[in-house]
Amino acid sequence: MTMIRTLPYLSAILSIPVLAQPGRLDMDFGMGGIARTTVAAEFVEVGAVEVLPDQRILAGGYAYIDNAGDILLARLLPDGGMDPEFGNAGVVIHDDGNTEYAVDLALLDDGNFLVLAERFVSTSQSDILLLRFNSNGTLDGSFGTNGRVILEGATSDIPSSMVVRPDGRLLIAGGRLEAGNGSMLIWGLLADGTIDTDFGTSGLVLIDVTPQADQAQGIALQEDGRIVLGGRGQGDSPGNVGIVAARLLADGTLDGTFGTNGTVALGGNSSITSIANVVVGSDGKILLGGHTQNMGAVNQTLVRFDSNGELDNSLDGDGILYHAVGLYAFTNAMVHQPDGRIILGGAGTDDGFVLTRFTSVGDVDLTFSDGVEDNIAQVVTAFPGNYTQVEALALQADGQVLAGGGVANDLVIVRYQNSVTSAVKEQPTARRFHVYPNPIGADGLIRFDLEGMQDPIRLELLDTSGQVVQSNFWNASAPAVIDVHALAPGSYVVRAHYRDGLRSVATVVMP
């Protein structure tokens, strides 16, 4: 008797457990864990990645077109396909008349989103550009002037990051460069893009921590409304650059209970220092992640402060951690997991995406690995022939890690597994498909009936570790066959990807 397995209507999420190694590519995403989209540009970069409540993925950055840079936005479906409901086949390129580069994104409660960008006016001047987009990728004309706000500086104002306060007001952090000097900068705006005159001096706060050039590179909010900044500061010589931090009250005045009169400066001995992100933990401690030059090498760097601005000795014994990944470990992004572990992403001596995970006390977490034992970093994803690096990180609701970057003129999002056990996940769908015979017969062929679906789909066969061992494209209106006679006996997962991003799964046995 022929055995037929039918996948019925699914009204809830179905999970078929498979073993998964944290740090390995998530084969349930894109092609082999990598979603790669070619953009009509000479090259592209990614500055920020956000996960929407429905698990779609929003990315923002830069597209170099005709000797100028434009803001690049893209939205992906949960499985890594481009979202046809956003912009032009999932991509928006916004030319604001100059060269612009998106550095941060912020999601709003109504489904719209903000884009923070640097706007280059000339070789010696740049301004801060803030745009608000509707959820479909069109400009929201109700914000600022036709959807945009420009904050002009005396010479160059360089934005880095932003946060939305619980009441909808906005804070923008960055640096002001003026006559060879520089200050940490923070602007306060109302929800409609007008200046918040109750913040700082006419909406602006400038903070000098070190004798020379300071720049805020990250911003975070505490639960009590106080504002934390982290960045870089230059001492009395060009080679004396270190990490700086500041904390402000909600109205923009410096918080005298933090550090020295509201600021902290950690001396440096190099011009290579950068902070990728600032996070306030549930315990009130303040974490900064980035890279610094130490003992001749550029190292991944973590710094953690207690709530009063003192270094937290529970991190690597003295509050400061340097981790070498070869000679160079440029770090552009950091995420802080709910369990206290920390992931840094950037580039190493070799081209490619480099990620390292640390425990809450600063030990390298060896359970986060791509399985290649000779890597000097825990996770390296190579793109042969192309220089690239992680430029943005985000965590999904299920803990999976998203890393964004650019490879030539391709926008690239990579998803990594990030739990000891994972699953092949099913999205709700009324679609059915039949897999037979099951167990697989002596001819080693798996046959599929896909009940007349006309959309082109991708069929994948995964082993119990979650690795894709076969992948084929089929038109669902015709019977499909996969030859598996060369595979080892055991259980396998069959997964069908539909054009609209939905999936179906079934389990088959190879006797």
Q: What is the mean pLDDT of residues 477-496?
A: 72
Q: What is the mean pLDDT of residues 155-174?
A: 95
Task: Tell whether 350 and 451 lie within a shared domain.
Answer: no
Q: Is pLDDT of 431 > 90?
A: no
Rg (CA), the chain: 25
Task: Tell whether 393 and 266 lie within a shared domain.
Answer: yes
Which of the listed residues 416, 440, 455 is the one where a domain comes to its end? 416
Q: What is the mean pLDDT of residues 350-370?
A: 88
Pairing of strands 480-483, 421-425: unpaired
Contact 439, 447 (CB under 8 A): no
pLDDT digits (tens, 9 = 90+) for 373-399: 555 567 889 888 788 999 999 999 888
Q: In the 8-state DSSP scheme, what is residue 196?
A: -
Among 63-67, 172-176, 250-254, 477-481, which is the least confidently predicted range? 477-481
Pairing of strands 468-475, 99-107: unpaired
Task: Tell whether 291 and 195 lie within a shared domain.
Answer: yes
- Residue 391's φ and ψ, nearest 5 degrees, are -115, -15
SS3 percent helix, strand, coil of the chain, rounded to 5, is 0, 55, 45
Q: CB atoms < 10 A from the CB of 263, how many?
A: 23
CATH number (domain holding residue 262):
2.130.10.10
Task: Tell whether 183 and 319 lie within a shared domain.
Answer: yes
| Token duo for residue 179 | 């006559």
pLDDT digits (tens, 9 = 90+) for 79-131: 999 999 999 999 999 998 889 999 999 999 999 999 999 998 887 788 999 99
Split at pLDDT 50, 70, 90, the class of 221 is very high
Determine, yes or no, domain membership for 469. yes
Task: Tell whether 495 and 352 lie within a shared domain.
Answer: no
Task: Tell whether 458 and 345 lie within a shared domain.
Answer: no
Task: Tell whether 342 and 485 lie within a shared domain.
Answer: no
Q: Is pLDDT of 302 > 80?
A: yes
Determine, yes or no, domain membership for 489. yes
d(CA 58, CA 149): 21
Domain count within the chain = 2
Residue 188 CB partners (closer than 8 Å, separation 6+):
169, 170, 171, 195, 196, 198, 199, 200, 203, 204, 205, 252
Determine, yes or no, domain membership for 319. yes
Prediction pTM value: 0.78
d(CA 416, CA 390): 13
Task: Tell whether 455 and 397 lie within a shared domain.
Answer: no
Which of the listed residues 360, 383, 416 is the one where a domain comes to its end? 416
For residue 15, what pLDDT is reported? 39
For residue 169, what pLDDT is reported? 97
pLDDT digits (tens, 9 = 90+) for 251-262: 999 999 999 999
Among 84-98, 133-147, 200-214, 291-305, which is the least confidently predicted range? 291-305
Q: Is pLDDT of 496 > 80?
A: no
**Per this entry, what is the length of the chain?**
511
Amino acid at 121: V
Task: Tell whether 353 and 235 lie within a shared domain.
Answer: yes
CATH number (domain holding residue 496):
2.60.40.3080
For residue 107, what pLDDT is reported? 96
Among 214-228, 251-265, 351-365, which is the least confidently predicted range? 351-365
d(CA 426, CA 76): 17
d(CA 81, CA 222): 36
Using alpha carbons, list the distances in angstroms from residue 163 to 41, 74, 154, 257, 439: 30, 21, 24, 22, 54
Structural domain harbouring 324: 21-416
Residue entry with tokens 């706007």: 119
Q: CB atoms < 10 A from the CB of 71, how many?
A: 24
Determine, yes or no, domain membership for 192. yes
Which of the listed residues 365, 383, 416 is the one where a domain comes to its end? 416
For residue 367, what pLDDT is reported? 83
Task: Tell whether 483 and 395 lie within a shared domain.
Answer: no
Determine, yes or no, domain membership for 374. yes
Share of the chain above pLDDT 90, in %: 56
Q: Output the CA torsion sign for 233, 355, 358, 163.
A: positive
Determine, yes or no, domain membership for 16. no
Determine, yes or no, domain membership for 394. yes
Contact 407, 36 (CB under 8 A): yes
Task: Tell whether 391 and 437 lie within a shared domain.
Answer: no
Task: Tell whether 373 and 464 lie within a shared domain.
Answer: no
For residue 466, what pLDDT is reported? 63
| Token duo for residue 148 | 């945009």
Mean pLDDT of the chain: 84
Task: Please give the biggest Cα pair distance in the chain.
Answer: 85
d(CA 127, CA 100): 10
The answer to whether the peptide bond before residue 78 is cis (omega within 30 degrees of 0) is: no
Q: In the 8-state DSSP scheme, what is residue 46?
A: E
